[in-house]
Structure 1
Amino acid sequence: MNWYPFELHTHTPHSDGRHTLAEMAREAKRRGLDGLALTDHNTISGLTERGVVEKETGIVIIQGMEWTTFYGHMLTLGLKGYADWRDLGPDDIHKGIERVHKQGGLVGIAHPYALGSPICTGCHWDYHISDWTDVDYMEVWHETLPSIRMHNQPALELWEGLLNEGLRICATSGRDWHGSKAGDDPEAATFLGIPNSEKLTESGAIQAIRSGAVSISMGPLLLCQIAINGRQFGLGETVPIRDGLEGLEATVTVSLDFHVRHGAWTLEPQPLSIVLRSNLGNMGEARLQPGETELTYALPVKELKWLRADLFGVFHGVRTKIAFTNPIYFS
């Protein structure tokens, strides 16, 4: 896989942003990003200059829109046209999701635990979801320096709870980018895994989110891989555990790439903590010393439904979670 950093939640003056699409793409390139999704509130009019901007900057732009309603904000990606949301009440969001899926698009819940009324009407997710398999992804990290934002912790807990139930929902980050100024806190990037044989395109980026080949980081790229019974599996993939193999151990390799988004973030040399998370809780913790980039674990696979990695250290003056991966699944 090649891993491309994206920003998946942005706004231009076509809704309430301050950057034009061209300005945002130029700034994205300066920030070491390879792509972004334009998700203006309830409009796709800002995408009219998409082709020109992509050609000028080399930034891949995903066509999107943020459904901004009284009952929640829903991100849509990959639509070929407008999908209406105005007739949806709190109990029939699935009708709207079906409209997006019919166009081949993805739906994601934006900042589900953000403050709602009267601070931000509709920002808190209040739609009733009767079938979580309809939801493609969830924005579990929102805003800049997302690991310390209080509304992101319950979003992460909701996501892991759904994983424990056997659901496969991709986690993403979103700066909710409305503008930039000197001194802004650092943002997280959503790294999308694209096969080495393919060029980076909008459809490939959407497929990465659909398949869960996604890692999220404010700094270095964190990856996790599993080897078992002579086969290797990466983020979003499924390890088939057949009868008689339940007692096997898997070799789990966690790695860091410090060369991504050069100049967009800083991390002082320090020991970094790697934690393996699963449906069984924390499966192990180890330290990477300065200069080390890889750790290997041996873990039994019995009763595992999913496994992923977290990275902790001092970042931007705070000891915090710096990065986390989406899961590798077991079936």
Structure 2
Amino acid sequence: MRQWFPYELHTHTFHSDGEHSLRELASSAKELGLFGIAMTDHNTMSPLLEREQIQSETELQIIRGMEWTTFFGHMLAIGIVDYVDWRDLGVKDIHRGIERVHRQGGVVGIAHPFRVGSPLCTGCYWEYEISDWKDVDYIEVWSYTFPSIMNSNQRAFQLWTDMLNQGYRISGVCGRDWHVSSKKVTEPIAVTYLDLANRGTLGPEQTDLEKAAVDALRKGSISVTMGPLLQFTVQLDTTDSVYGIGEEVRVDGAANTAQVQIEVDFTAREEHWQLADQELRVVLMSNKGQIAELNVSRNAATASCWVEVKELIWLRAELHGAFHNCITMIAFTNPIYFEDHK
């Protein structure tokens, strides 16, 4: 059974350039209805010295991590135990750095790849040369607040789509890049929901829970939203098996179509976002482009359709509608993947 929990995956404290302490950050995250955060200060893991105590006090999960902040790009390393150095890496050496993170069981994500770089934001624009995209676990396709309307995020979202079309199974997430108090923020905030079906208990150590979150990031069991939680499943016409976000559908020669079931949970963190009553569009996107469109609303929160599976590599759902005076994408899921096993 799937269990979805909301996270913020890109945060900072005054140990780097944030305004708040880890305790203040955790308390603010709890007030926003979050289940957990990833602590990703710039080039340091020092705020994590208080991690176990603050987790116990706030009952908020704090995933260990850091943000490599370099001249050639910013890279998030999440789920690591020890500090990982980057200072000996040139623009062609990022894979050696990624291997250091993976060696600890962590995952790496490209942060805000198309944000304006130097001199306005040193190294924010991604320039590292990637020779094998299989080494990249995820891309921060939405960054900052009200992320869907930012040109830099639209470019990042297209990069993610291009990589999926080339056959790479890379996850797409949002990261607020949280530096300032929530009381100063008036724009919508997006969160990343992770599926923690195999989670451990919420306690001071949280080792199993941290592993479950990192595994969800690696696998792509992810749904991102500024509002309601968007989910979908797939069932082939030849089997009773139901596949969820991040999973692989094994397509045999007899299968021609699959039923797609859409569900939108309008109760998820509903006190933290505003959405006018309306008919929303769910667009099904794939390596073949848009293949279907369905309508949902608060009164009709589920919908289904049949799609052809021939030549299908990946499929994701996107939720569109009027949000904060804009017609925009409100939410998106990570893909369900398809593999031909004739």
TM-score of the superposed pair, with normalisation by structure 1: 0.97
User: Among 186, 189, 192, which residue is 1:187 paired with?
Assistant: 189
Partner of 2:131: 130
Counting only pairs closer than 5 Å after superposition, residues 104-183 of structure 1 correspond to structure 2 as: 104-180=105-181, 181-183=183-185
1:56 alignment counterpart: 57
1:240 to 240, 250, 267: 250
- Cα distance in 2 between the residues matched to 1:197 and 1:251: 29
Q: Return the match for 1:272 from 270, 280, 285.
A: 280
Pairwise CA distance, 1:244: 3.3
Q: 2:274 and 2:211 mapped to 1: Cα distance?
A: 32
Going from structure 1 to structure 2, the CA distance change for 1:183 and 1:207 (only over 3 Å counts) comes to: closer
Q: 1:262 aligns with which of 262, 270, 274?
A: 270
**Matched-pair contact (CA < 8 Å) for 1:14–1:40:** yes
* Secondary structure at 1:163 match in 2: helix
Task: Check the 8 A contact 1:13/1:20 in 2, yes or no.
Answer: yes
Aligned pairs (5 A) from 1:57-96:
57-96=58-97
| CA distance in structure 2 between the partners assigned to 1:92 and 1:55 by the alignment | 39
Q: Percent identity?
A: 52
Q: For the Cα contact (< 8 Å) 2:282–2:295, is it kept in 1?
A: yes
Aligned-residue CA RMSD (Å): 1.1
Q: Which residue of 2 is the match for residue 222 of structure 1?
A: 230
Give me the whole-angstrom Cα distance separating, in 2, the residues matched to 1:141 and 1:16.
21
Give the counterpart of 1:299 among 296, 307, 314.
Answer: 307
2:319 is matched with: 311
In 2, distance between residues paired with 1:10 and 1:60? 13
> In structure 1, what residue type is equivalent to 2:246?
G
For structure 1, list consecutive stretches of 5 or more residues without a partner in the other structure: none
Residue from 208, 216, 223 that aligns with 2:216: 208
3-state SS in 2 of match to 1:231: coil
Matches within 5 A, 1:5-16: 5-16=6-17
Change in 2 beyond 3 A, CA 1:65/1:196 = closer
d(CA) in 1 for partners of 2:171 and 2:201?
Answer: 22
Counterpart AA for 2:186: D
Q: 1:95-140 deviations in whole A, cap 9, x for unaligned?
A: 1011111111100000000001221120000000000000001100
CA–CA separation in structure 2 for the residues paired with 1:327 and 1:254: 13
CA distance in 1, matches of 2:93, 2:315: 33
Aligned length: 329
Q: Distance in 1 between matches of 2:126 and 2:69?
A: 11
How far the C-alpha of 1:182 sits from its partner, in A, is 3.8
TM-score (norm 2): 0.94
Identify if the C-alpha distance between structure 1 residues 43 and 183 changes in structure 2 by more than 3 Å, giving closer, same or farther. Answer: closer
**What is the distance in 2 between the residues matched to 1:121 and 1:83?**
20
1:32–1:262 Cα contact (<8 Å) kept: no
- Structure 1 Cα separation of the partners of residues 198 and 37 of structure 2: 20
The answer to whether the Cα contact below 8 Å between 1:225 and 1:253 also exists between their aligned partners in 2 is: yes
1:197 deviates by 7.0
